[in-house]
Amino acid sequence: MVKVIKTERRVLKSMPSFFKDRKPKKKRPQGDENQTTDHQIERIQVSLSGNLNMIEQKTGNSSDVVIREIKMGGDSDIKTAIVYVEGIVDNQSIQEYLLQSMMKDDHKEVINQQNAIDLLSKDIMTIGNISPITNFDDLFASLMAGDTLILVDGVDQALSASTKGGEKRSIAESTTQMVVRGPKGAFTESLGTNTAMVRRIIKTPDLWMESLKVGRVTKTDVTLMYIHGIANDKVVKEIRQRLHRIDIDSILESGYIEQLIEDQTLTPFPTMYNTERPDVVAGNLLEGRIAIFVDGTPFVLIAPAIFMQFFQSAEDYYARFDIATSIRLLRIFMFMISLIAPATYVAVTTFHQEMVPTMLIVAIAAQRESVPFPAFVEAVLMEITFEILREAGIRLPKAIGSAVSIVGALVIGQAAVQASIVSPAMVIIVSITAIASFATPSFDMAISARLIRFLFMIGAATFGFYGIILCLLMMVVHLCSLRSFGVPYMAPFAPFIPVNNGDTVVRLPWWTLRQRPRLITANTVREGTNQYPHPPASRGMVNRDFEEGDNNEA
């Protein structure tokens, strides 16, 4: 164990610039991690009743823990018991492969206490994965994970048969990242299903997975997935180490993990990407990124993430490049609108009236004539009203949801204007901002723009356009200072990497994107040379030699 710490220290020292923000902090004793801290390892007893008592006591006699005692052997003298938790096991396999084979077994004559465990695992049980257990920690871990335990009287060992199962949601269409073209299936809450969905896309033995349990109480399965040879080993090591460091009682969603392992916490911008689409995960793995699957949530984390990634949609890569490029440009434009549209309105109406054509400023002035508030207050009022409406719309049950939109449309669309609380121009600005922020493909990025928008409005209200530019500069500086697992957030703009700019604000055709992002991957060669499609040379017009008398009519 000491050796492990040492090697990790050495790794950290060897890449000080790469993981700039990580200082080697004092290490907690390794033994503590992911383990119950308050009792020492307890071995399984010899007596069956003692063991069963122990299980009952530890689980507090919970009603869903099923203990079924069976007598085996020729004289029914071998007392065995089957223990499982109802609901998280596959009832059918317990019945067919465990109970049936144990009760109607053909080894009645041979079996005795000494060879019972051996026989059970080797000859009797017709189930996939069986492992022997010697202590109670493992016993409870596998019991709670959905395995079935087989205990035999007189043996200080138990068998754990893999019978994980129970009800789970079937694969459905993605609800958060919809595409017109592309695979429809989204991840589910079941980790096994999710990893399998990716495995089904990337059929290489180099697709490696590492599993660990995180959460002292919940013991949530977390799986790290990457493609060996494409992912950067240093990043893999770093993520692994950060995951091991987590000591928390519960992991209920991948958001927990994200917040516990991200580089920079004081930022509105997301430094890890999350998705519920298997094709997005596969695409990112193939660029050298690492996916973190968490059991119980369809949202898979992807690290390292860069800024431009949040403006990419899966469909960009399926559509032809000209379409994809123009749509991506549109998205960036919309992101800017959602950031600065209200701020611009405030700046124009309170500082820079000279920059607007006369007739337009007269039109805006006419609308503002009856509004009692300064433009800034008006803008904040409307933006907050809209945020309230949006939040209400999301939380409400579907049946009442439409009522919110009706009330909202009336309140901010019509009544507020007629009551001279806001001007119609402001309503237009708010609607455009709202629509623009909905159009950002990543919800996390849109939500951070929502937050920063208010900062921009304050900047505009105090300094006009100068304030907006100031805020913009601060934002860019901040973005440039961010890192996601050692990779600069603004890559490939800062640092500027010309080759990797083909897939940023533009999306060049696939045959030009020969390299994977250089800062992320360990192996940059994505495709062979000369991938430009070469159709056979044109044959020109089809010339038939018409014979005399032939006619050319159809």
Partner 1 sequence: MKRKGVFLLLMMTMTLLLTSCWSKKELTDLAIVSAMGIDETKDGRFHITLQIINPGNVAGGMQGGGGSQSPPITIYSASGDNIVEASRRASGRISRRLYYAHTNLVVVGERLARKEGLNTLIDGLDRDPEFRNTSTLVIAKNSTAADLVKTLTPVDKIPANKVLKTLEFTERKWGENVKTSLQEVMKSIESPGRGAVVSGFRLVGNPQQAQKLDNLQESAPAATLRASGIAVLKKGKLVDWLYGKPARGTVWILDKIQGTDINIDWAGKKEAIAYQTVRQKTSVSAQVKNGKPHISVHTRAEGDIGDMEVPVDITDPKVITKIEQSLRKEIKKELRVAIERAQKNKTDILGFGEVVHRTRPNQFKKLKTEWNDVYFPKLDVDITVEAYVRRAGLRNKSFLSGVKENQK
What are the residues binding partner 1 (CB under 8 A)?
Answer: 349-351, 353-354, 358-359, 361-371, 374-375, 424, 461-464
Residue count of the chain: 554
* Cα–Cα distance for residue pair 268/245, rounded to 1 Å: 24
* Cα–Cα distance for residue pair 293/114, rounded to 1 Å: 42
The minimum distance between CB 417 and partner 1, in angstroms, equals 8
Judged by beta carbon, residue 318 or residue 454, the one nearer partner 1 is 454
* Cα–Cα distance for residue pair 360/168, rounded to 1 Å: 59
SS3 225: strand
The minimum distance between CB 422 and partner 1, in angstroms, equals 12
Judged by beta carbon, residue 362 or residue 400, the one nearer partner 1 is 362
Judged by beta carbon, residue 462 or residue 512, the one nearer partner 1 is 462
Place of tokens 């304030």: 467
Tokens at residue 476, please?
Answer: 């860019």
Judged by beta carbon, residue 318 or residue 465, the one nearer partner 1 is 465
Residue type at position 101: S
The minimum distance between CB 223 and partner 1, in angstroms, equals 41
The minimum distance between CB 370 and partner 1, in angstroms, equals 8
The minimum distance between CB 83 and partner 1, in angstroms, equals 57
The minimum distance between CB 366 and partner 1, in angstroms, equals 4
250: number of Cβ within 10 Å? 13
Judged by beta carbon, residue 362 or residue 428, the one nearer partner 1 is 362
The minimum distance between CB 56 and partner 1, in angstroms, equals 55
39: number of Cβ within 10 Å? 9
* Cα–Cα distance for residue pair 249/229, rounded to 1 Å: 34
Tokens at residue 505, please?
Answer: 């604000």
Judged by beta carbon, residue 41 or residue 365, the one nearer partner 1 is 365
The minimum distance between CB 426 and partner 1, in angstroms, equals 12
Judged by beta carbon, residue 374 or residue 509, the one nearer partner 1 is 374
* Cα–Cα distance for residue pair 278/550, rounded to 1 Å: 60
Long-range contacts of 50-53 (CB under 8 A, 24+ apart): 51/81, 51/151, 51/158, 52/81, 52/83, 52/151
Judged by beta carbon, residue 477 or residue 541, the one nearer partner 1 is 477
Long-range contacts of 64-68 (CB under 8 A, 24+ apart): 65/143, 68/99
Between CA 508 and CA 515, with CA 510 as vertex, the angle to 5 degrees is 90
